[in-house]
Amino acid sequence: MYGREQTPPKRPPRERAGPSPSAARISFSFSFSFSFSFAFALAFALAPVLSLGCAPRLPPSLPSSLFSAPTPSFEREALDGRQVSSEHFRGDVIVVEFFASYCAPCRRSLPALVKLAKRDPSLQIIAVGEDERRDLTATMAAEFGLTMPVVHDVGNVLAARFRIDGLPSTFVIDGEGSLRWVGGADHDAATLARVVAAVRDDRDR
């Protein structure tokens, strides 16, 4: 009889020797240094993009042929006797609002103008009344408590210069005298505030 083949006893697997403490410290230090450097470089590269994303943006504007033409200059006397000149406001953002007593949507836009004036006292605002008679413009200004200069547009001369085709019409002009935004009956005080903030941000860049 043949004897049974003897199977050699299995040796337990050897444990792999881990890295030495000094090697582990070197590896950790390198990984941390690389991660920190990569994160810093990424943040630095994205900074311009992130800053652009945080900048105020102009809401959509109504079309106007004045976007490709010089903004009309004017000089008029307000109802309270103040002299109003577009050149006097050069360097500042200006809001010019056209309204009339017969314009039903103007009764929604004028309160937004008043609210904006209270929120931003330094903002230059001019209200232009398109009524045929001066007293109708004065009555409207008193009814809504307009504290900004109010001009009665005799003969609708300014309306023609600004090429308006409906009321109310709101024009936002930057400090260089360029038209930046036109609004109609559907904007509110918050929209106007965003427009002004965006135009000022462009000026300060």
Which pLDDT score is estimated for 54?
53
> How far is residue 68 CA from its own chain's centroid?
21
Model's pTM, two decimal places?
0.73
pLDDT of the residue at 70: 85
Provide CB contacts within 8 A for 110, sequence distance 6+: 97, 99, 127, 140, 144, 146, 168
Q: Kindly provide the residue ranges of all beta strands, DSSP E only, lying in 59-185, ordered along the sequence.
A: 75-77, 83-85, 94-99, 124-129, 150-152, 169-173, 179-183
Per-residue pLDDT of the chain (205 residues; tens, 9 = 90+): 434 444 444 454 444 444 555 544 544 444 444 444 444 344 444 433 344 445 578 999 999 999 988 899 999 999 999 999 988 888 999 999 999 999 999 999 999 999 999 999 999 999 999 999 999 999 999 999 999 999 999 999 999 999 999 999 999 999 999 999 999 998 899 999 999 999 999 877 7
pLDDT at 140: 97
The pLDDT assigned to 175 comes to 92
Model pLDDT, residue 21: 52
* Residues 60 and 191 sit within 8 Å (Cβ to Cβ): no
180's CB contacts (< 8 A; 6+ apart) are 58, 61, 172, 173, 174, 195, 199
What are the residue ranges spanned by the domains of the chain? 21-54, 65-204
Q: Return the CATH number of the domain spanning residue range 65-204.
A: 3.40.30.10
- By C-alpha distance, which of 204, 197, 144, 141 is closest to 172? 197
